């Protein structure tokens, strides 16, 4: 696993493979363990922690906490962009390792189903039309936001971060 903090992110140089388009299925998944604000609380160090960000425009893909101090994720098109997935309930920081997966199933004709899973259980889904996911003209940042370096960075550990282009790995609950 990789420990992330205010000054620690991973950046992958821009690549055309980061542009998933509007008909491509894909999966982004990872294991994580969030650090708490202090030893006497289960609140995360930053309520806006970011897992990943492709681009800092409305054409990117962003996964991060929603800012409520309840450990809930949002998936947005771009940093500060349109919310596609809003996780209903979250998990407390320092509650151990959790597996997350964001999947997009291309259904043809620019129709897609986006799903978000925690520990194999679907937390949210959304049927979307004509969303162009990702961006080929921006770096992929893991553990932080490209637009706000050293702010909103993930504070904890991330392991087995994996992106699969062309495959929607999960279409229902899994174990």
pLDDT in tens, 136-175: 777 888 998 877 777 889 999 999 999 999 999 999 999 9
CA distance 58 to 135: 9
Average the pLDDT over each of 54-58, 83-87, 106-110 and give the range with the smallest value: 54-58
Q: What is the tally of helices (H) and strands (E) in the chain?
A: 0, 14
Q: Which of 57, 75, 54 is nearest to 128 (CA)?
A: 75
For the residues 95-117, what does the mean pLDDT come to?
95
- Average pLDDT of the chain, as a whole number: 89
* CB-CB neighbours of 128 under 10 Å: 19
DSSP of 126-172: EEEES--EE-TTS-EEESS-SSSTTSSB--EEEEEEEEEET----SS
| Coil, helix or strand at residue 16 | helix
Compute φ and ψ for 18, nearest 5 degrees. Answer: -80, -10
User: pTM for this one?
Assistant: 0.92
């Amino acid at each position: 696993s990789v420990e992330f903090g205010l000054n620690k992110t991973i950046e992958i140089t821009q690549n055309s493979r980061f542009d998933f388009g509007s008909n491509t299925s894909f999966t982004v998944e990872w294991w994580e363990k969030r650090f708490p604000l202090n030893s006497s609380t289960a609140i995360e160090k930053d309520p806006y922690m970011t897992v990943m960000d492709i681009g800092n425009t409305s054409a990117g893909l962003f996964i991060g906490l929603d800012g409520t101090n309840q450990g809930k994720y949002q998936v947005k098109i771009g940093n500060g962009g349109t919310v596609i997935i809003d996780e209903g309930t979250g998990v407390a920081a320092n509650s151990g390792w959790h597996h997350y997966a964001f999947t997009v199933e291309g259904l043809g004709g620019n129709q897609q189903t986006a799903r978000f899973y925690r520990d194999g259980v679907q937390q949210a889904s959304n049927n979307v039309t004509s969303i162009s996911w990702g961006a080929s003209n921006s770096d992929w940042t893991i553990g932080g936001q490209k637009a706000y370096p050293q702010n909103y960075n993930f504070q904890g550990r991330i392991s087995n971060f994996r992106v699969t282009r062309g495959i929607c790995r999960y279409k229902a609950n899994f174990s």
